[in-house]
Amino acid sequence: MKVVAIVVTYNRCDLLKKVISSLVEQTYNIDHIIIVDNDSSDSTSDLVQQILDKYNFISYFNTGDNLGGAGGFNKGFILAEKFDYDYLWLMDDDFVPDKNCLDELIKDSPEGIIQPIRFNLNDTCAEISPVDYNLRRVFCKNPKTKTVVDVYNNRKLLDKINIAGVPFEGPLISKNVVKRVGYPNPDFFIFNDDLDYSIRARKAGFPIVCSFKARAKRLLVNNQSSDLSGWKGYFMLRNHFYILKTYGENIFVCNRPLLITFFYIVLGVFKLDFKLVKTIISAYKDSFSLSNSLKYRP
């Protein structure tokens, strides 16, 4: 079975070098590696030239702009169509799989999507992919009610579990999924593009599982900013609102973004944080069409 790996990078030259090294050392040979560069301004281009001189199964594409993870993976899917493949293996530039990671992922010829389990550099489990993502409950602070780490830390003799979604950090996606579901939506820019793709795949009837035998390391700590007034806060809110309105399973869930917006407006006024008020209003308005990425991206 042929595998094409897609690596999206932006200004992380030192980390990218470790990612590529881990891919070429896999015990299961990767047919082709596509590096998608969101127009890095560091030494990525110099590193890539060294890589291309050394390996003939690696190609490089510079998007010419910062398209975010969502735009980068969308380009990667398009570029992968030039190759004959059975699976796409997606990752960003701080994901380092164990040498036998791909071997473990592909050995059962998965029909849908299979995710390796990720660990931090201190060996604590970092796999926060949702086991359940509840779009039915009306009163639910966070739809992600259970994560893989919750199950893993209390596991018995489990090799893998069914999950509700994957990050674009290591999932192996069968070509049948790509044919039916299509490409990631580039309009997300960052945050929830992977969740959107997972929901679309599940609605199309494809299984999504996490393997406890396929392991990988995260080179950076997953530390999403809590500053909702900033650009990350805008994308987190806007994209979360879109997920609720698009995939909510009842009218109350679909309209939860309105209640969240009202709450943060009141909070912003109370704290005299009018930047937060402006951000939350823009996020709500733009969530209907995922617009204004150019205005808010860094």
| 3-state secondary structure at position 3 | strand
How confident is the model at residue 47, as a pLDDT? 95
pLDDT of 186 strictly over 90: yes
Angstrom distance (rounded) from CA 216 to CA 228: 30
The residues, any chain, with a CB within 8 Å of residue 168's CB and separated by 6 or more, are 8, 69, 73, 90, 91, 92, 184, 193, 194, 197
Stated pTM of the model: 0.94
How confident is residue 138, by pLDDT bands cut at 50, 70 and 90? confident
Residue 157: pLDDT over 80 = no
Q: Residue 97, SS3?
A: strand
pLDDT in tens, 55-79: 999 999 999 999 999 999 999 999 9
Q: What is the mean pLDDT of the chain?
A: 94
* Per-residue pLDDT at 229 exceeds 90: no
Given this model, what pLDDT does residue 141 score? 77
Q: Is the pLDDT at 210 greater than 90, yes or no? A: yes
**pLDDT at residue 212 in the model:** 94
Residue 182: C-alpha distances to residues 190, 276, 293 (Å): 18, 35, 22
Query: In the chain, where are the structural domains located?
Result: 3-218, 231-296
Fold exhibited by the domain 3-218: Spore Coat Polysaccharide Biosynthesis Protein SpsA; Chain A (3.90.550)
Report which secondary-structure segment, H or E, holds 173. Answer: strand 172-174
